Amino acid sequence: MLTKDIKKKLENSQNFLHSDKLVGQLIEKSNVEKGDIVIEIGPGKGIITKQLAKTCSKVYAVEYDPYLYRKLNKMFYNIENVEIQHGDFLEFRLPEKQKYKVFSSIPYNITSAILSKLTSSYNPPEDAYLIVQEEAARKYAGSPYNKESMRSLLLKPYFDLEIICKLKRTDFKPVPSVNSLLLHIRKRKNAQINKSQTDLYRDFIAYIFKRNGNMRERCEYIFSYKQLKRLSKDVGFNVTDCPAYINFQQWLKVFQYYIIGVPDEKKRLVRGSYSRLRDEQKKIDKIHRSRR
């Protein structure tokens, strides 16, 4: 059983939205509507859950904190379209066949793990609206909100990413020390990369971004200097550019040339880069989860 001190510590370690009006406005900015199944990650005190229940047909709210879970169960025990589940969202089983959406103010310390789970799922959400730390939102959204990142480029063939709005720090209690944004991740109807090329693309992007230097230095074992100069002219970048300054549409063109213009022996250097990256990330996420 949790003592009062531990209960208070758990509550105060999280930042919660406190205005029903604001939550209603945020949901209005989304395309969550009647008939939708919505998953909420970390409902906390239930302020978003309450507004979602008024809007959609079913809410599955997954709460990690046992104290908050019990409070939520009491709060929603007679609300038929709300189901409160206790557990770690990272171990929660996402719907395998049903269409669904996500709307959540998520724990910032596991943002990467949550986005990885949602976007790598066999059946990802049609739309995910996530309140996240501004730095993370801009990193995942990439251009035009920020420079492209490895994370933005790995997502963009399959998802559109949009920053909906910025929230005030005072919108939360306790007031956080960082800025927050509402990020929208929408599954593309038509992927920009053929399914058969998915692994090639992920390995290619991971390989480039895990290396150091400019484009010429990072690509020296893949493209000849002559190839890279031609590519830079055709696609519209400089060989001395940092990869982050090349936008997604340009990267698609570079990748298509990589497929047809690079021999298999050079592609073997790139193979497996993404899986190695994911193994490294899992170790980092495990450390973060142990600190929760």
Q: Break the chain into its structural domains and give their ranges.
A: 4-187, 195-290
Q: Say yes or no to pLDDT of 261 above 80.
A: yes
CA-angle at 245, arms to 208 and 243, nearest 5°: 10
* Helix (H/G/I), strand (E/B), else coil: 56: coil
Instruction: Calculate the CA dihedral of residues 212, 215, 217, 221 and round it to 10 degrees.
Output: 110
CATH superfamily of 4-187: Vaccinia Virus protein VP39 (3.40.50.150)
Q: Which residues contact 223 (CB under 8 A, 6 or more apart)?
A: 231, 258, 261, 262
Considering only CA atoms, give the Rg of the chain.
21
Instruction: For residue range 269-286, list pLDDT tens digits in order.
Output: 999 999 988 887 776 666
CA–CA separation, 88 vs 123, rounded Å? 19
DSSP output for 208-237: HHHS-SSHHHHTTTTS-HHHHHHHHHHHT-
Instruction: Quote the strand ranges of 134-234, DSSP E.
Output: 159-167, 172-173, 180-187
Query: What's the one-letter identity of residue 292?
Result: R
pLDDT at 172: 95
In this predicted model, which residue has the larger pLDDT, 5 or 137?
A: 137
Tokens of 153: 């480029």
CA 31 – CA 91 distance, rounded (Å): 26
Q: From CA 189, how far away is CA 175, in angstroms rounded?
A: 38
Q: What CA dihedral angle connects 217, 222, 223 and 228, to 10 degrees? A: -40
**Rounded Cα gap, residues 253 and 241, in angstroms:** 16
How many percent of the chain have pLDDT more than 70?
92
> Structure pTM?
0.89
Q: What is the mean pLDDT of the chain?
A: 92
Q: Note the pLDDT tens digit of each residue in 74-101.
A: 999 999 999 999 999 999 999 999 999 9
- 117: tokens are 């789970």
* pLDDT > 60? residue 31: yes
**How far apart are alpha carbons 136 and 127 in whole angstroms?**
18
Distance CA 133, CA 114 (A): 13
